[in-house]
Structure 1
Amino acid sequence: MGRLLKRFSGGATKIAKAGGEETPLAPIQSSDVARRAALLDSLEKSDLGWFWASDGAGRLIYLSEPAIERVMPEKEDLIGKQLSDFFKDDDYEGVSPQRTLKFQLAARNSLRPTVVKIENGDRTYWWEISGSPRIGETEQFSGYHGIARDVTASIASQRDAEKLSRYDSLTGLSNRHRISRKLSSMLISFKAAKRSCAIMLLDLDRFKQVNDTMGHPAGDELLKQVAARLKRIIGDCGEIGRIGGDEFQVILPDIEDRQDLSGIAERAIQMLSQPYSINGMRAVIGCSVGMAIAPFDGIESEELVKAADLALYAAKGGGRGRFRFYSSDLRDQASHRHQIEEDLRDALIKEELEMHYQPIVTADGHKVVCVEALMRWKHPERGMVSPADFIPVAEEVGIIRELGEWAIFEVCNQVTRWPEGIGAAINVSAVQFASDNLIEIVKRALKKSGVQPSRIELEITESVFVGDMERALRIFRELKQVGVRLALDDFGTGYSSLSYLRDAPFDKIKIDQSFVRGCSEEGNNNGAIVAAVVSLASALNMQTVAEGVETKDELKAITAQGASHIQGALFSRAQPASFITERMDSGELVFEPLGPEKYRSDRRTEFRKIGLIHDDSRYQVFLRNLSKTGAKIEGLLEVPVGTEVVLDLGGGQLAVASVRRSEGISQGLEFETPLISDGADGLCTRHRVSPYQIEAVGRKLQALKDEDVAAITGGMSKAKKAFLEVDLATLSVD
């Protein structure tokens, strides 16, 4: 420091008076220089503060020795380095300062105390620096003199405290507050830049069961492992936050292709559903995913999160272990679901519930030997309510136990009215299985009805093995001691393990319909999977039931693979007890296969109005059926084969298509780009009309509305139409 002081203290120093004259001061004496040098050296060595200096070109020409020793092993590696390369802007949380250090140095103004970052290998330090520009006698800028102090400890402490307020202490992920702020700021900037942003909400299925049976420490460890898997799935593509006990949110910027999002969601569901090892124990959970995309489903963060939440709700209601995209009709479904919840509480009291029965027949002679009992709700105003609508609600609001108990008593009573050789299978939910009184309920129902226990079969899903497997196996053994039969339902749909097949005393394995569907098609692996399950069951002395058989080619393939029993609409849908009783009383125990010859993949029968665009004209047509590759429509007269059209499937979904068949008012279309699964039982387009495109033609920027899409796709056109529209109600030409 003494050398630097001498270098810049030689000669007289001038100061300006008020009148503008300059008066030279007496030269600094050498004794003064020595005292100052000693004082500054003492200050440097105390580590209370350091000194630095640069030349006019912005190069570092001096730094206190203690400072050099702290951050750089070799002085030669530092002196001569550009200040902006040594002192770097602190971009904590990805937010750069409004005025960068490089900008301030270039302006040659005084540097106010500024926190900078210094990096050396894997070590990072934070200093607070300030400085003043030096102007020589020729009024030339000759660099900076400045001071610095190490604030690494205080910065680290401050950021640790901030991290606690912004990050989840258990998983290290962003917490609800931080991920919400991140989404809000991102949507604001993305709206200005006309960019898209997707969010995913993930909810762990059956996490509460693990938490309750294995304890909260095990639940915490499970959440840590879930977070680690999510990080591997998402990588650098997005930001992950934990927003609740077992709920996570993922922000995925610049992704609007729903096929890409489907892939991410499917990987998340698959990976998070794999078994976890916790303190030497095995736990299996699932995952449901809801997705929404800005600006299509919402412009503001609150609107977008609400849309994703509705999609998540629909995914959980659809059977869990699924993903769903948001669509506008989910709002109506949510309202409908709320009404179901209100009415369901009174359904038992008002005796609105009834059991229907679907025959299970032998593969060789198609003789009914068992029926599956399926609950139905006959609502006084809405008619028959689908179990897919009310069973998830019953599980969610906690009345599934009461419904399950009623079903066991009802079925046991009904079976006593049928021939001795006919049994009935009753579905037992995971919630009901977890209750402590299941065995007692079964015993009471058997005693009250007088039915032989061997005629009652309890269908259990693999999810009951989540958490405490020893408890599950104990309950199975006790049920077998009671005398009832046990069937493993939905085998192979995500939680399969040979270990519990080895230990659990099942009598039957039910092959899920997802493996039956398409098993007759060449190149489809489902047939091989069915054969493997049948072989496994045979080795374990278990029967097999192929569920959901709908076509004769599926029946042929399943029978060839060796399945012992068949169940599906090909023989009969679920029927009221009176129908089954009448058949049995008349001795008609054989059901003939009645249905289509061949399976047709992904073709859904529909009957709804949609838009069709041709040139500048827009038409209303009826959609008869829909598949991934095409559709059948009605409502236009004599459209030539080869005509290029666009179908407006609603929600901004435009599908470019060509007419491949045309007969009168009916046309068969082939899509230019195949549709994809919407995560449920429907299909959707990969891309949609962007609200930014709608805004560009003068309309308000908002989430997609069908009327806006119609307006920009020929809805307001006065051009003469090329085709005649037919009113299907009257079959008159408009």
Structure 2
Amino acid sequence: MIDNAPIDERTLRQKLPVRAVLGLAPGPDLNWPRLWMLQHRELARLMVPRIACHAVGALLAAVMFFRFVPLPLLVCWLVWLTVSVYIYTQTDAQFLRSDKPALNGREARGHLVGSIMLGVGWASLMPLLQLVAGPEIAIRGLILGAGIAVGCVVLMGVVPLSALAFSGLLTIGAATGFWLAGSTEMIVFVGFFAFFGFGSIWIRAQDFLRFAIAETALVEKTHTVSLLLREFEENEADWLWQIDKSRRVRSASPRFAFAMNATPSELEGKAFFELISDDDWESGPGADSLRMLADHLNARENFSNLMVRVKIDGMPRWLELSGTPILGEKGEYLGYRGVGSDVTEQRKSSEKIAYLARYDTLTGLPNRLMLHEALGEAMEEARDMRRRCAFVMIDLDRFKAVNDSLGHQIGDRLLEQVSGRLAEIAGENELCGRLGGDEFGIVVRDACDFGAVDSLARKVIERLSQPYEVDAHTLFVGASAGSALAPRDGKTVEDLMRNADLALYRAKDGGRGVHFPYEPSLHADAEERRQLEFSLRKALEKDELLLNFQPVVDAKTEQVVSFEALIRWQSEEHGLVSPGKFIPLAEDTRLIVPIGTWVLKQACKEAMAWPGHVKVNVNVSPEQLVEPDFVSTVVDALTRSGLDPRRLEIEVTESIFLSDAEVARVALAQVMALGCQVALDDFGTGYSSLGYLRKLQFSTIKVDRSFVQGAAQGSSESLAIVRAVVAMAHSLEMKTTAEGVESEEEARLVRTMGCDRIQGFYFGRPMSSDDARSLFQTDYRELRA
């Protein structure tokens, strides 16, 4: 009935549009085509009384006027009237036969033709009588026409356009008759009568429309309620319950009996609380909810959506109950009735969702949210009891290497074992949880002193550092820890967790495998790091970066064969910043990618000023290698500088194979295909595997300075490692470079052990580009000549 708008009291009382009521054009809000169809069907339903009215009127006219009106004229009038009634009734019959729900404007106006024909027939009666029979007889015709007009209001008023057309023609006929008779004062009377007739038609039409609107809305609401009731009856989870004032079941519904695992007859007269509880209901798990239900029943008050834990046939269930008191005619209390549903499965789902919201799905430990809440409660309790609590943050040291080399499935199983060990260590005073990834946290509710927290952290590190057996793999991962005490190190949960994180960062930066407590100076370190990062982001724009070059010499001839390009940062705000400080920062923030690109281009450009046999070594970070356009960057640097690819040697460390190993391998293979060489730096100090040497044909293996210095000091292990690396490199047709040579004795030692090249302070410290060029002044003069 209504287009997307509910029927309300305002809609029923609003003023209906005149054009819409007349059927000339639809109005807003309501479904007017359907209303028009209801109007015309109501008019068609009154078809027989209308035909009878016209037939009786015509018969009376024939009897009253046949002596005064010529017979041919009277017969013509009766034929006109008969044809008009036939046309009119045929239209009504079509409406009764039609099953269309709506009526268009053209069809509504089409009904008007029959009304006009009938109106013309009756309107012509009084002028005709005035002309052929005189005023006295015409007055009789006026009386008959007035009766027909009253019938029009009653029988045709539901379709106002047709009724007004018919009544209007009767009014015109009556006024014409009085005008012919010269009774102008009677024309006023006719107008007065017509005014009330038209008003009655309009009121009748509006009343019918408002009734139709209200009736349709009621039908729609009844239909909706029926659908809801049918849906309710078909839903086995919902049922009706009723008890008397003695709390005994009355009129048990089949659904209620099904929920209670019984029949309606078995439930009738049974005590309600005996059905839903057992002997320990006052102290059992559902005691509080059952007691709340009893309180509502005792208070005789309405309740809704009350969750009650019950036992039905010994099985725990959850019911959701709503109820209202039953009152007699005099207001006396007769019992309760209400609606209930079994929400056990929904409750389980809610509990599972609540569990997942606070527990880690992999390890089963509390997650970050629950640790946050527990730490907040511990801090509040410590504040009230004037004691201290603590938060310990733990991070696994070599977990990423395991994850990358053996896969995430092995990594997940390793985390499960880590969580099991943490759960073993934690006592009643501690709550262990997983913060995410390989980070864990421990809330210490009562931290009597720092010694207890330090002892706990050391115990955790020692236990987590013991070997793990996962799918036939023996794995070693260490752990680092940072801690913060409340309220000394933080007044809020966020502050305490942030400060513990700062302490953890310091522990990892200081060698790993240790516990570091929070100190106020860490904030200064963090602020310094933040400021360094901000300045480093603008270092390229400000042209603050520069390159130094350290010579690499041939072990036999001691002639320079290459230079290693080493980046330096002369900051405007911080002065000369150590590479050990800003390189890790650049790698953490991925600024190493644009910085590494700059180094590669500048080093190739500078190498063009050296003799053709001297190479340039450029260190490349793993972050650069995994960039999709790394090879394009190398090509661009070579093209712009004009450097022969054979004079460029890329230096990488074993860490490139710990993340995206295949991507790094493909990139290096493409670089070697260009003609460039690749050196493996710091061999033996990282996550070493001889498989790396099989995957790529490195040109050079660089022996780390720690082994060189150990060998110089007589360390048998270092001597054995250096000899083994040299022998292996030579067998694979690779060169070896000894790093960190600082004295003549060390140079003599690595030369006797077979190293091909030597790099260190003994042959030259990192120098500026001008100093590097000065080593070849003689060669430059020869080239210029």
Give the TM-score normalised by structure 1.
Answer: 0.51
C-alpha deviations, 1:134-182, integer Å up to 9, x for none?
A: xxxxxxxxxxxxx995549969767534321211224433211112233
Please report how far the alpha carbon of residue 508 of structure 1 lies from its aligned counterpart in structure 2 after TM superposition.
1.6
Please report how far the alpha carbon of residue 538 of structure 1 lies from its aligned counterpart in structure 2 after TM superposition.
3.0
- Could you tell me which of 283, 286, 294 is aligned with 1:113? 283
Structure 1 pair 193/209, CA: closer, same or farther in 2 (3 Å)?
A: same
Please report how far the alpha carbon of residue 515 of structure 1 lies from its aligned counterpart in structure 2 after TM superposition.
4.2
SS at match of 2:665: helix
Structure 1 pair 157/481, CA: closer, same or farther in 2 (3 Å)?
A: closer
- Could you tell me which of 773, 776, 779 is aligned with 1:581? 773
SS at match of 1:243: strand
d(CA) in 1 for partners of 2:618 and 2:678?
10
Please report how far the alpha carbon of residue 413 of structure 1 lies from its aligned counterpart in structure 2 after TM superposition.
0.9
- For residue 574 of structure 2, what is the aligned residue in structure 1? 382
- Could you tell me which of 623, 627, 647 is aligned with 1:435? 627
C-alpha deviations, 1:98-147, integer Å up to 9, x for none?
A: xxxxxxxxxxxxx943439xxxxxxxxxx9999xxxxxxxxxxxxxxxx9
Please report how far the alpha carbon of residue 502 of structure 1 lies from its aligned counterpart in structure 2 after TM superposition.
0.9
d(CA) in 2 for partners of 1:262 and 1:561?
42
Please report how far the alpha carbon of residue 224 of structure 1 lies from its aligned counterpart in structure 2 after TM superposition.
2.1
- Could you tell me which of 529, 551, 566 is aligned with 2:758? 566
d(CA) in 1 for partners of 2:681 and 2:542?
31
d(CA) in 2 for partners of 1:548 and 1:394?
24
- For residue 202 of structure 1, what is the aligned residue in structure 2? 395
C-alpha deviations, 1:546-570, integer Å up to 9, x for none?
A: 3344567766665565443333345
CA contact (8 A) 2:626 2:660 kept: no
CA contact (8 A) 1:355 1:577 kept: yes
1:66-465 superposed matches below 5 A: 112-115=282-285, 150-151=315-316, 160-186=352-378, 197=390, 199-202=392-395, 221=409, 224-231=412-419, 234=422, 236-238=424-426, 240-244=432-436, 247-250=439-442, 261=457, 289=480, 291-294=482-485, 298=489, 301-314=493-506, 326-364=518-556, 366-465=558-657
d(CA) in 2 for partners of 1:263 and 1:548?
38
Please report how far the alpha carbon of residue 209 of structure 1 lies from its aligned counterpart in structure 2 after TM superposition.
13
Is residue 2:663 matched to residue 1:471? yes
d(CA) in 2 for partners of 1:426 and 1:568?
16
CA contact (8 A) 1:429 1:460 kept: yes
SS at match of 1:431: helix
* AA aligned opposite 1:292: S
CA contact (8 A) 1:290 1:326 kept: no
Structure 1 pair 169/312, CA: closer, same or farther in 2 (3 Å)?
A: same
C-alpha deviations, 1:589-623, integer Å up to 9, x for none?
A: xxxxxxxxxxxxxxxxxxxxxxxxxxxxxxxxxxx
Please report how far the alpha carbon of residue 336 of structure 1 lies from its aligned counterpart in structure 2 after TM superposition.
1.8
SS at match of 2:775: helix
C-alpha deviations, 1:670-728, integer Å up to 9, x for none?
A: xxxxxxxxxxxxxxxxxxxxxxxxxxxxxxxxxxxxxxxxxxxxxxxxxxxxxxxxxxx
d(CA) in 2 for partners of 1:250 and 1:577?
53
CA contact (8 A) 1:198 1:255 kept: no
* AA aligned opposite 1:298: D
Query: Once the two structures are aligned, what percentage of the paired residues are identical?
Result: 32
SS at match of 1:174: coil
C-alpha deviations, 1:614-642, integer Å up to 9, x for none?
A: xxxxxxxxxxxxxxxxxxxxxxxxxxxxx
Structure 1 pair 346/303, CA: closer, same or farther in 2 (3 Å)?
A: closer
CA contact (8 A) 1:458 1:487 kept: yes
User: Which sections of structure 1, spanning at least 5 residues, go unmatched?
Assistant: 1-37, 53-110, 117-126, 131-146, 589-734
User: Which sections of structure 2, spanning at least 5 residues, go unmatched?
Assistant: 1-265, 293-310, 319-343, 781-785
Name which structure has the greater RCO, CA cutoff 8 Å, separation 6+. Answer: 1
* AA aligned opposite 1:544: T
Structure 1 pair 163/382, CA: closer, same or farther in 2 (3 Å)?
A: same
Structure 1 pair 467/350, CA: closer, same or farther in 2 (3 Å)?
A: closer
d(CA) in 2 for partners of 1:500 and 1:50?
70
* AA aligned opposite 1:230: V
d(CA) in 2 for partners of 1:469 and 1:398?
18
CA contact (8 A) 1:487 1:508 kept: yes
C-alpha deviations, 1:438-480, integer Å up to 9, x for none?
A: 1111112112222221221111122322354333322222111
- Could you tell me which of 724, 731, 744 is aligned with 1:539? 731
Please report how far the alpha carbon of residue 346 of structure 1 lies from its aligned counterpart in structure 2 after TM superposition.
2.2
* AA aligned opposite 2:769: A
CA contact (8 A) 1:476 1:505 kept: no
SS at match of 2:687: coil
Give the TM-score normalised by structure 2.
Answer: 0.48
SS at match of 2:570: strand
d(CA) in 2 for partners of 1:357 and 1:50?
87
d(CA) in 1 for partners of 2:581 and 2:625?
21
Please report how far the alpha carbon of residue 428 of structure 1 lies from its aligned counterpart in structure 2 after TM superposition.
0.9
* AA aligned opposite 1:512: D
* AA aligned opposite 1:237: I
- For residue 703 of structure 2, what is the aligned residue in structure 1? 511
- For residue 639 of structure 1, what is the aligned residue in structure 2? none
SS at match of 1:349: coil
* AA aligned opposite 1:455: R
CA contact (8 A) 1:207 1:285 kept: no
CA contact (8 A) 1:549 1:566 kept: yes
Please report how far the alpha carbon of residue 406 of structure 1 lies from its aligned counterpart in structure 2 after TM superposition.
1.0
SS at match of 2:668: helix
d(CA) in 1 for partners of 2:577 and 2:566?
12
More strand by share: 1
SS at match of 2:364: coil
Structure 1 pair 173/575, CA: closer, same or farther in 2 (3 Å)?
A: farther
Please report how far the alpha carbon of residue 402 of structure 1 lies from its aligned counterpart in structure 2 after TM superposition.
1.4
d(CA) in 1 for partners of 2:716 and 2:567?
33
d(CA) in 2 for partners of 1:574 and 1:322?
34
d(CA) in 2 for partners of 1:526 and 1:263?
33
d(CA) in 1 for partners of 2:675 and 2:632?
13
SS at match of 1:391: helix
Please report how far the alpha carbon of residue 497 of structure 1 lies from its aligned counterpart in structure 2 after TM superposition.
1.8
Structure 1 pair 309/349, CA: closer, same or farther in 2 (3 Å)?
A: same
1:482-631 superposed matches below 5 A: 482-516=674-708, 518-521=710-713, 525-550=717-742, 558=750, 561-585=753-777
SS at match of 2:373: helix
